[in-house]
Copies of this chain bind each other. A is one copy, B any other.
Amino acid sequence: MSKRAILLIHCPDQKGLVAKITDFLFKLGGNITYLDQYVDVEGARFFMRVEWELQGFKLYPDAIGPIFGKELGEPLNLTWRLYFSDQRPKVAIFCSKEPHCLDDILARKSSGEWELEIPLILSNHRLLEPTAKRFGIEFAYVPVLPEKKEEAEKAQLALLKKHQIDFIVLARYMQIISETFIEQYPNKIINIHHSFLPAFAGAKPYHAAFERGVKLIGATSHYVTADLDSGPIIEQSTTPVTHHDRIEDLIRKGRDQEKLVLAKAIWLHLNRKILVFQNRTVVFV
């Protein structure tokens, strides 16, 4: 596929938005290959994702942002962000002791399924270091002691800066991240929680699910916010369980949910399919 530009926009709803935006692209020779808009009628908010080919477009890539901002962004009070299809984001994976999400992510990266760079794997345990080595990725062991958490986060942040990380994936990283840390990566930290949130937030959700006797277990991927397990949900799924399933079976069945729901969120984020507004996501198809 040829190189494309992607605009993600949201703003207070107003008449003629789609006409103005598509007209702007049309006049500059843009061949639109994707357009989706959504109006939250109650909230009077407009959301849009538009993608067009750069071949034949009358502006240089670097000029698109400034000109779009001046002609439409400012006058229409748009919140917008511009991406190009050939940008390969740099992603850091945080993990702990559970390998399945990390394994799945590295396999997808390695097979060419995803267009991203993974320069760094960060963990508070050494257990998964061999996995990182297998794929030739730097593994940073940063222990997180309760009394030295601030220090640990400083070390983590330094590593992220060094590697110019664009976004972070918590691949069953079992530590709570501080507000200060999160503020530096707003809507750029994707977590997988092993329950269908808001049920069973917090620790040991499979134990709680077993105790409650549910007939479905789930997984939820979401952006991390200061409020634990309460950030904007990106993707969820559930799978049936029965009385035959003990806690160890819930954990086993849950793994497949977790890795798929996390992978879906990463794919959507990578492909600039997600807009966040008021703690909810608009996810374009």
Closest to A32 in B: B18
Which residues of B are found within 8 Å of A40, using beta-carbon distances?
243
Tell me whether A285 is interfacial, beta carbon within 8 Å: yes
Which residues of B are found within 8 Å of A198, using beta-carbon distances?
199-200, 212, 214
Rounded to whole angstroms, the CA-CA distance of A112 and B171 in the bound complex is: 18
Which residues of B are found within 8 Å of A282, using beta-carbon distances?
243
Residue of B34, B199, B246 near A196 (CB, 8 A) is B199
A83 CB to closest chain B CB, in angstroms? 19
Rounded to whole angstroms, the CA-CA distance of A232 and B243 in the bound complex is: 12
If over half of A's interface residues share one DSSP class (helix, strand or loop), that class is named, otherwise mixed; here it is mixed
Rounded to whole angstroms, the CA-CA distance of A260 and B39 in the bound complex is: 28
Rounded to whole angstroms, the CA-CA distance of A205 and B104 in the bound complex is: 25
Question: B213, A279: Cβ atoms under 8 Å?
Answer: yes
- Identify the stretch in A147-155, A162-170, A234-242 within 8 Å (CB) of chain B at 4 or more residues: A234-242
Q: For the complex formed by this chain, how many copies does it contain in all?
A: 4
Question: A26, B32: Cβ atoms under 8 Å?
Answer: no
A219 CB to closest chain B CB, in angstroms? 10
Q: Which of A22, A39, A113 is packed against the most chain B CB atoms within 10 Å?
A: A22
Binary contact readout A23-42 vs B (1 if CB under 8 angstroms, 0 otherwise): 10110011111111111111
Closest to A135 in B: B134
Question: B244, A285: Cβ atoms under 8 Å?
Answer: yes
Which residues of B are found within 8 Å of A199, using beta-carbon distances?
196-199
Question: B213, A236: Cβ atoms under 8 Å?
Answer: no
Closest to A42 in B: B246
Binary contact readout A107-120 vs B (1 if CB under 8 angstroms, 0 otherwise): 10011010000000
Question: A197, B218: Cβ atoms under 8 Å?
Answer: no
Question: B260, A233: Cβ atoms under 8 Å?
Answer: no
Tell me whether A103 is interfacial, beta carbon within 8 Å: yes
Closest to A209 in B: B198
Which residues of B are found within 8 Å of A203, using beta-carbon distances?
none
Tell me whether A3 is interfacial, beta carbon within 8 Å: no
Closest to A214 in B: B233
Residue of B47, B100, B212, B281 near A213 (CB, 8 A) is B281
Question: A37, B39: Cβ atoms under 8 Å?
Answer: no
Closest to A200 in B: B198
Closest to A238 in B: B238
Residues of A at the B interface (CB closer than 8 Å) are 15-16, 18-19, 22-23, 25-26, 29-42, 47, 99-100, 103-104, 107, 110-111, 113, 134-135, 196-200, 212-216, 218, 232-238, 242-244, 246, 252, 255-256, 260, 263, 279-283, 285
17 contacts between A and B (CB under 8 A): A16-B23, A18-B22, A19-B23, A22-B22, A35-B37, A100-B113, A103-B111, A104-B107, A107-B107, A196-B196, A196-B199, A196-B218, A197-B212, A213-B232, A214-B236, A216-B238, A243-B283
